[in-house]
Structure 1
Amino acid sequence: MRAVQLPISNPPLKGFLRWAYTLSITSIHEETIPWYFSNFIQLSCKKTFLEDGRQFYFDFFRGKPNELNFNNPFLLTCSVNYTILEFLPLDAWPQFFADQIRSGYYCVVFLDESRLSPAAAYQKEPFPHHLFLYGFDLDQAIFDASMFDHTGVYRNLQIPFTEFQDAVHSMRHLLKEGVKADHHTYFYKYEPHSPYPFDRTAAVDQLRDYLNGETHLNRINYNPDEEQAFGLKVYDYLQMYFDAVESNDSRLGDRSDVRHLHVLWEHKKMMSERIDYLVAEGIIPYDEELADGYRDITKRAMKLRDQYIRHEIRADKDVFERLRLRFDQFRKEEPVLLQKLIALLEGST
Structure 2
Amino acid sequence: MNVVQLPVFNPPLKGFLRWAYTLSITSGHEESMPWYYSNFIQWSCTSKILDGDRQFYVDFFRGKPNELNFNNPFLLTCSVNYSILDSLAVDAWPKFFADQIRNGYYCVVFLDESKLSTAACYQKHHFPHHLFIYGFDWDQRIFYVSMFDNKEVYRNLQISFQEFQDAIHSMRHLLKEKYTDDHHTYFYKYEPHFPYPFDTTSVIDQLQDYLDGETHLNRINYIYDNEQAFGIKVYDYLQMYFDAAEKNDPRLKDRNDLRNLHVIWEHKKMMSDRIGYMVEKGIIPYDEELVEGCKDIAKRAMKLRDQYIRHKIREDKKMFEMVKIRLDQFKNEELVLLQKLINMLDKKLVVI
Q: Which interval holds the TM-score relative to the shorter structure?
A: over 0.9
By how many angstroms is 1:66 displaced? Answer: 2.4
Cα offsets for 1:168-194 (capped at 9, x unmatched):
111111111111111110111111131
Secondary structure of residue in 1 paired with 2:37 = helix
Cα offsets for 1:5-43 (capped at 9, x unmatched):
111110010000000000001112111000000000001
Q: Could you say which residue in structure 2 is the equivalent of 1:322?
A: 322
- Is the contact made by 1:26 and 1:190 (CA closer than 8 Å) also made in structure 2? yes
By how many angstroms is 1:204 displaced? Answer: 0.3
By how many angstroms is 1:255 displaced? Answer: 3.2
CA distance, structure 1, for counterparts of residue 207 and residue 190 of structure 2: 28
- Is the contact made by 2:6 and 2:101 (CA closer than 8 Å) also made in structure 1? yes
By how many angstroms is 1:89 displaced? Answer: 0.4
Q: Could you say which residue in structure 1 is the equivalent of 2:127?
A: 127
Q: Could you say which residue in structure 2 is the equivalent of 1:300?
A: 300
CA distance, structure 2, for counterparts of residue 201 and residue 330 of structure 1: 25
By how many angstroms is 1:223 displaced? Answer: 1.4
By how many angstroms is 1:152 displaced? Answer: 1.1
Q: Does 1:224 align with 2:224?
A: yes
Q: Does 1:64 align with 2:55?
A: no
Cα offsets for 1:50-77 (capped at 9, x unmatched):
1243100210000021211111111111
By how many angstroms is 1:130 displaced? Answer: 0.3
CA distance, structure 1, for counterparts of residue 13 and residue 52 of structure 2: 29
The residue type equivalent to 1:51 in the other structure is: D
- Is the contact made by 2:76 and 2:188 (CA closer than 8 Å) also made in structure 1? yes
The residue type equivalent to 1:171 in the other structure is: M
Q: Could you say which residue in structure 1 is the equivalent of 2:159?
A: 159
By how many angstroms is 1:331 displaced? Answer: 1.0
The residue type equivalent to 2:189 in the other structure is: K
Secondary structure of residue in 2 paired with 1:83 = helix
Secondary structure of residue in 2 paired with 1:217 = coil
CA distance, structure 1, for counterparts of residue 28 and residue 268 of structure 2: 22
The residue type equivalent to 2:177 in the other structure is: E
- Is the contact made by 1:8 and 1:24 (CA closer than 8 Å) also made in structure 2? yes
Q: Could you say which residue in structure 2 is the equivalent of 1:30?
A: 30
Q: Does 1:170 align with 2:165?
A: no
- Is the contact made by 2:49 and 2:55 (CA closer than 8 Å) also made in structure 1? yes
Within 5 Å, give how 1:177-326 maps onto structure 2: 177-326=177-326
CA distance, structure 2, for counterparts of residue 103 and residue 307 of structure 1: 45
- Is the contact made by 1:113 and 1:126 (CA closer than 8 Å) also made in structure 2? yes
CA distance, structure 1, for counterparts of residue 173 and residue 207 of structure 2: 45
- Is the contact made by 2:55 and 2:255 (CA closer than 8 Å) also made in structure 1? no
Q: Could you say which residue in structure 2 is the equivalent of 1:338?
A: 338
Secondary structure of residue in 2 paired with 1:79 = strand
- Is the contact made by 1:111 and 1:128 (CA closer than 8 Å) also made in structure 2? yes
Secondary structure of residue in 1 paired with 2:308 = helix
Cα offsets for 1:198-250 (capped at 9, x unmatched):
00000000000000000001111111232100001001111111111111111
Secondary structure of residue in 2 paired with 1:300 = helix
Secondary structure of residue in 2 paired with 1:87 = coil
By how many angstroms is 1:315 displaced? Answer: 1.3
- Is the contact made by 1:245 and 1:256 (CA closer than 8 Å) also made in structure 2? no
TM-score, scaled relative to structure 1: 0.99
- Is the contact made by 1:248 and 1:255 (CA closer than 8 Å) also made in structure 2? no
The residue type equivalent to 2:10 in the other structure is: N
Cα offsets for 1:93-135 (capped at 9, x unmatched):
0000000000111000000000101111011010000000000
Q: Could you say which residue in structure 2 is the equivalent of 1:7?
A: 7
| 4+ long deviations beyond 3 Å | none
TM-score, scaled relative to structure 2: 0.98
Q: Which moved more, 1:46-55 or 1:138-147?
A: 46-55
The residue type equivalent to 1:16 in the other structure is: F
- What are the ranges of 5 or more consecutive residues in structure 2 without an aligned counterpart? none
CA distance, structure 2, for counterparts of residue 121 and residue 276 of structure 1: 39
- Is the contact made by 2:75 and 2:189 (CA closer than 8 Å) also made in structure 1? yes
How many aligned positions are there?
Answer: 349
- Is the contact made by 1:82 and 1:172 (CA closer than 8 Å) also made in structure 2? yes
Q: Could you say which residue in structure 2 is the equivalent of 1:54?
A: 54
Q: Could you say which residue in structure 2 is the equivalent of 1:87?
A: 87
CA distance, structure 2, for counterparts of residue 173 and residue 140 of structure 1: 28
Secondary structure of residue in 2 paired with 1:50 = coil
Secondary structure of residue in 2 paired with 1:348 = helix
CA distance, structure 2, for counterparts of residue 193 and residue 250 of structure 1: 51
CA distance, structure 2, for counterparts of residue 195 and residue 256 of structure 1: 39
Cα offsets for 1:239-265 (capped at 9, x unmatched):
111111111111110234310000000
Secondary structure of residue in 1 paired with 2:86 = helix
